[in-house]
Amino acid sequence: MADCEVCGRSNAGIRTSIEGSELTVCKLCASLGKVISPEIPVVRPSLLKKPVRMPEEMQLTPRADLSELVRKGRDKLGITQEELSRKLKLPSNTIRRVEGGWQPPLDVIKRLEGVTKVSLVEGTGSTQELRKKLEKKALTIGDVVDVRA
């Protein structure tokens, strides 16, 4: 819950009109004015946004030849590991590790795909198909509004 706008207590939740101003106050300070709305219900952040689960057919995994593809994509662009790391805003050590066989997290792989223009993941659906399916999903009010707890 929010803090009381009059006394500062942490359990405020009653909208009250006090001397012409609408304030969110605690139960004790609500008696200082006219109650506009009863206690505001507590919204738990865990209930606000449900994680988007990918359908089984759209599960993406890094390709086995990821390190080779990253190196070839970088060579095709004619840039060094340091230049690629600057474009991706990653430590240059990360690019060296990827080209050496390390599998980075999926968000880093997506960033690498964006710069090198090489598909680095595999699955039954491509990245473009996944984006199209997610774009077709209708927005909900929770996607647009920032709810304050």
CATH number of the domain that residue 68 is part of: 1.10.260.40
Q: What is the pLDDT of residues 49-89, one digit of tens each?
A: 566 665 554 567 888 899 999 999 999 999 999 999 999 99
Same domain, residue pair 67 and 109: yes
Same domain, residue pair 38 and 65: no
Q: Share the mean pLDDT of the chain.
A: 78
Task: Provide the residue type at 45 as one letter.
Answer: P
Same domain, residue pair 78 and 118: yes
The residue that leads in pLDDT, 45 or 90, is 90
Task: Provide the residue type at 146 as one letter.
Answer: D
Q: List CB contacts of 1: < 8 A, sequence separation 6 or more.
A: 10, 11, 12, 13, 40, 42
Among 16-25, 59-68, 116-125, 132-141, the least confident range:
132-141
Report the alpha-carbon distance of residue 137 to residue 141 in Å, rounded. 13
**Domain extent at residue 28:** 1-42
Report the alpha-carbon distance of residue 53 to residue 95 in Å, rounded. 29
Tokens representing 64 are 């086995």
Its pTM stands at 0.47
Same domain, residue pair 68 and 112: yes
Confidence band for 2, pLDDT divided at 50, 70 and 90: confident
The dihedral region occupied by 8, where left means phi > 0, alpha psi between -120 and 50, and beta the remainder, is left
For residue 62, which of 113, 96, 97, 22 has the smallest C-alpha distance?
A: 113
Q: Is the model's pLDDT at 26 over the cut of 80?
A: yes
Domain count, the chain: 2
